Every structure is written in C-alpha cells, then in structure tokens.
A = this chain, B = another copy of it.
Amino acid sequence: MHILITGAAGMIGRKLTERLVVDRALGNQPVDKLTLTDVVQPARPAGFSDHVKTRAADLAEPGAAAKAVSERPDVIFHLAGVVSGEAELDFDKGYRVNLDGTRALFEAIRKSSAEAGDGYRPRVIFTSSMAVFGAPFPHAIPDDFHLTPLTSYGTQKAMCEAMLADYTRRGFLQGVGIRLPSIVVRPGKPNKAASGFFSGIIREPLAGEDAVLPVADSVVHTHASPRSAVGFLLHAAGLPRDQIEPHVNLTMPGVTCTVAEQIEALRRIAGDKVAARIRREPDALIERIVSGWPQRLEARRARALGFQVEDSFDQIIRVHIDEDRGGSFVA
C-alpha cells in the first residue's frame, strides 16, 4: 500500500508518520511506500527502510497536486492547511492554501484518473475542524448541526467538506472528512492557531515555563490528544464506504471540560507549583474567535462508527507527558 500525507511536517503529520513507521501497516495491509509532502520538505522518518519520498510541495501551485497523485497513492491523508489565526489574519493565504490547495488535490485526482482511464479512486481523509460550526449553539452540537462558521478558516473547511462530499458522490475519490476537536497537548512551540493556549497552559508549565491564558477560566471546550487524532485518521482510512457515504463528514468525539478543569487536571498530575505557572492575560481577538466556537460535541455517529478518544483531560495530559516529554516534567 502506498500512502501520501500532505502537511506531513505539521504536528499531526509527524505523529501519523511515526505511527505508520511503527505499524508498517494500515488496517490489514502492509505499507510499502510512504510519500510525505509539505510546504517545507518533511523530515525523513527514521527506521523505515522501505520506499519513502519526502518532497516540498505547495498544492496550490500549478502542477504540484498532479505530481503528488501521479504515483497513485492508495490512501491520502490530506492534512495540509494554515491554522485559524493565520487564516483570519491573512485572508488571501487562507483561501489559497486551505481552499485552493485542497481543490487542486481533488482536481488532480479526478483529472489524472480520467486521463489514465485506470479507475483510480483513492481514499482521501480530509482533516476538518469544529470551526465549521458557529454560534449560537445548543448545549451540545449534534451531528447534523448546520455549518455557519464565524471564521475564514471555518468557512474554508466547510467549503472543502462540501467538495469532498461531491467528489465522493461523483465517484472521483473516496472521501472521509473528520472534524477534529482541539488537539491538545500540542508539543513544541506555540503556533498561530487561536486555540493555541489550550495546549500552552499545559505544555509550558510542565516544561518549567510560564504560560499565558488569554480567555476566562469558565470557557468550555472539547479536546482530544494528538494520539487520538492519529487514531481518528487511521480508523477513518479503514471505514467501509457504505457506512459513511453520502454524508462523509464526521464530527469526532472529544473530552469536554472548562479551562478551570484543565488546570485542575494539571494540578492533580503535576502539583500546585506547576499549575501556578499560568498567567491570566485576556486577549480580545482570541476571546472573540473562541466565543464563536462550539463547546460540546455529541459525535454520536463517530462513536457508533468506532472512533475512540480519551475519557478525561487527565489522560490527555498523561499522553503528552508520555509521548512528548519522555515521561517526566519540571516540578
């Protein structure tokens, strides 16, 4: 099996790559070829002696998407995109990368299959986001809640979801869209996502550094670990088509809690001194963006389809300490 990952240099892309290198299989099928693309050339995974290609590719550039599908990947994990804060600050870039890049990928699949006449129709796992939903919300968002995004990022994701469903219905590809909750704890440096602080208030204190909390403690949000996000992607790749089509866009489950509950979980696991490293600095732009996001996701369909997630925010913190910090933290 040949797997293509776009956005492979990103956090989820790297963790997905690591997992595939360990598993060497997807479902029951051995992975014998891995192609990794991103706007910067992704790192070559260690420990994978089989055929691996890494390539710098901006899918919105002419020819880039055609090249990416020319070697007929069986499964494409399309993770490439700019994050919410960046898409809001740079309108052109958000539409170019998140909409045009995705459309270029879908079009390249359709056109190269038509030209070759080989019936090429890969499974395409597209990472969407709960930012497709916009306020006002019911207590919890049901699977069939309407999409009224209140950010450009959410708009671009909603547009791509619609295309994914149409290209699937037309038989050009086999799409599954997975709407991720906030993925925490993100390792490494803060990125431009407006949701970045949900990770920062756990990651920085565990590393012995101060963290900024730009919203109120009472903010409710739904989270999943990077490990769960990778699990969602792999599970989506193996779902039988008749269980998901024609409504191929699925809201993923998560752990719902307040910021205060996040901090309490941190205190339970790492102690008062660590939890005291969080500094309150309200930020109007972040507060406005976050206030337009859903708080609780029902995700009944995804749970029924076997998607799994942590049971508590404590577990999410432990995944971070285990996976990204070698099991320890700065007390």
Q: Which of A239-253 contact B (CB under 8 A)?
A: 246-247
| Chain B residues whose C-beta falls within 8 Å of the C-beta of A159 in the assembled complex | 159, 162-163
Q: Are A166 and B148 in contact (CB under 8 A)?
A: no
Q: Any chain B CB within 8 A of the CB of A146? A: yes
Q: Are A146 and B146 in contact (CB under 8 A)?
A: yes
Q: Are A246 and B166 in contact (CB under 8 A)?
A: no
| Chain B residues whose C-beta falls within 8 Å of the C-beta of A145 in the assembled complex | 146
| Chain B residues whose C-beta falls within 8 Å of the C-beta of A134 in the assembled complex | 246
**Which B-chain residue is minimally distant from A166 (CB atoms)?**
B155
| Chain B residues whose C-beta falls within 8 Å of the C-beta of A148 in the assembled complex | 165, 246-247
Q: Are A170 and B91 in contact (CB under 8 A)?
A: yes
Tell me whether A162 and B146 are in contact in the complex, defined as CB-CB below 8 angstroms, given that A152-B170, A170-B91, A246-B134 are known contacts: no
| Chain B residues whose C-beta falls within 8 Å of the C-beta of A91 in the assembled complex | 110, 170
Q: Which of A141-161 contact B (CB under 8 A)?
A: 144-150, 152, 155, 158-159
Q: Are B162 and A155 in contact (CB under 8 A)?
A: yes
Q: Are A155 and B146 in contact (CB under 8 A)?
A: no
Contacting residue for A150 out of B146, B152, B169, CB 8 A: B169
Q: Are A158 and B162 in contact (CB under 8 A)?
A: yes
Tell me whether A144 and B147 are in contact in the complex, defined as CB-CB below 8 angstroms, given that A155-B165, A159-B163 are known contacts: no
| Chain B residues whose C-beta falls within 8 Å of the C-beta of A162 in the assembled complex | 147, 149, 155, 158-159, 162
| Chain B residues whose C-beta falls within 8 Å of the C-beta of A149 in the assembled complex | 162, 165-166
- Return A39 CB to nearest CB of chain B, in Å: 23
Contacting residue for A166 out of B144, B152, B166, CB 8 A: B152
- Return A100 CB to nearest CB of chain B, in Å: 10
**Which B-chain residue is minimally distant from A107 (CB atoms)?**
B95
- Return A139 CB to nearest CB of chain B, in Å: 15
- Return A145 CB to nearest CB of chain B, in Å: 6
| Chain B residues whose C-beta falls within 8 Å of the C-beta of A110 in the assembled complex | 91
Contacting residue for A147 out of B147, B150, B155, B169, CB 8 A: B147
A148-B165, A150-B246 known; 13 new pairs, CB 8 Å cut-off, are: A91-B170, A145-B146, A146-B147, A147-B147, A147-B162, A148-B246, A149-B166, A155-B162, A155-B163, A155-B165, A155-B166, A159-B163, A162-B162
